[in-house]
Structure 1
Amino acid sequence: MNKFRIILLALGLLFCNMQFAQDAAQNDEPSLDKGTIDSQFEFVYKKSGNYRADGKRYEVVRTLNLDKLRQNVRDTINAFNKNKAELKATISGNEATIASLNDKLEQTTGNLNRVTEEKDSMSFFGMLVSKSSYNLIMWTVIIVLFLMLLLFIYRYRNSNYLTQEAKVRLAELEQEYEDHRRRALEREQRISRQLQDEILKYKKSK
């Protein structure tokens, strides 16, 4: 009796494992509602029928699947265009920031040079001050201006780095977009030609 129960338990576990594996395999199957464009093209190929006539192989694609695939390709292209526009806006903003920082950098550099040239003067805003007080004020101003110069240089370099990085990303995105658009158009044209050939053949057969 115990052996019979063990056998039933083993068979039950085996059945559950087989069912789980089958469900996992079904979940991994490509579809038009998820996955990459390439996997969706594979789905269309798998779901299309085929036959041979006059020594040629033809694919019969459902119009519904073809329309869905076309819409998915358009959505992907629109997403690429949106991302491209966002990157261009980021680059424009960074370039404007760099231009502003350049102006401030030139102004700060001019002020620093002017203060350095006038540091030996004993007149401070028309008032006579002691040499020690004058030197203290001048060095304080110079240090502040120098720190501002370092800050502006840092911000300038950081903005320039971000701009260059955004330009590289934009170039990569444009290249990826062009490659993807070319592959998608080639596949869509191939499927459309096969569908058109099939329609013409069907009309001729009537």
Structure 2
Amino acid sequence: MKNVYLACIALTLITLFTNVINAQEATDEEESKLSLTEGSVDNQFEFIIQRSNNYQEYKVVKKNWLYTLKKNTLDSMARVEKELAESINLSKTQNSEIESLKGKLQESQNHVSTLTNERDSISFFGALIDKSAYKATMWGIVGLLAVVLLFFIYKFKNSNVVTQNAKKALADLEREYEEHRKKALEREQKVRRQLQDEINKQKIAKAK
């Protein structure tokens, strides 16, 4: 019984030791994926948080890291704003084209409707053509305009989706940047106060 008990204890210790090693390896692998020059803004913030030095309950962050993070965040915001502006301009252009096509389609439909009450032969660019052939041609043009109109309506709707997604991404990025900026500023202020307190303590100690 004693040997069985010792064997159980040894097995438990081995299992715990293996789990600790695996957890440490997973943590190291996750940290190795973080970068200050690649990945999302959130990953860059996580890089700074994990790689910064600890001072009591505070984090001491390198200034050049903060400057790099600020530049990357502003670049990301500028890129999203540019994509948003391009999407808005594209939506305006497509909307104008859709309105123009609607006008042409309506004109063609009105013209075709007028032809139903006219004579069998119609003068078209100085030549007489059969009324049925003329109607078929006009309705073909109407059908073509309708297809083009549907295509631009489809593109316009897709452009609106892209615009909304870009607006949401920009808002999320601005909110995330503002939150992290405030946190980083608070940490920096706390560290400065703590360091100043330590300096004052050292001065007082030397004075005594």
Length-normalised TM-score, structure 2: 0.71
The reply to whether residue 48 of structure 1 matches residue 55 of structure 2 is: yes
- 2:91 and 2:160 in contact (8 A); partners too: yes
Aligned Cα RMSD in Å?
3.4
Q: Which moved more, 1:186-195 or 1:17-26?
A: 17-26
Superposed counterparts of 1:7-86, under 5 Å: 10=8, 12-24=10-22, 26=24, 28=27, 37=46, 40=49, 44=53, 47-49=54-56, 66-68=60-62, 70-86=63-79
CA distance in 2, matches of 1:182, 1:41: 18
Instruction: Give the match for residue 157 of structure 1.
Output: 157
Among 99, 102, 115, the alignment partner of 1:109 is: 102
Q: Find the residue that maps to 1:129 and give its secondary structure.
A: strand
- 1:90 and 1:166 in contact (8 A); partners too: yes
- The structural deviation recorded for 1:118 is 2.5
- The structural deviation recorded for 1:146 is 1.0
CA distance in 2, matches of 1:132, 1:90: 50
- The structural deviation recorded for 1:67 is 4.1
- The structural deviation recorded for 1:24 is 4.7
Instruction: Give the match for residue 90 of structure 1.
Output: 83
Q: Deviations over 1:71-128 (max 9, x none)?
A: 4444443333222112111111112211221232232123223322332353333322
Q: Pick closer, same or farther for the CA change 1:16–1:184 going to 2, 3 Å.
A: same
CA distance in 2, matches of 1:90, 1:106: 24
Equivalent residues, number: 186
Q: Mark the runs of 5 or more structure 2 residues left unpaired by the alignment.
A: 35-42, 116-121
CA distance in 1, matches of 2:154, 2:86: 17
CA distance in 1, matches of 2:97, 2:49: 53
CA distance in 2, matches of 1:134, 1:143: 14
* Identical pairs, percent: 32
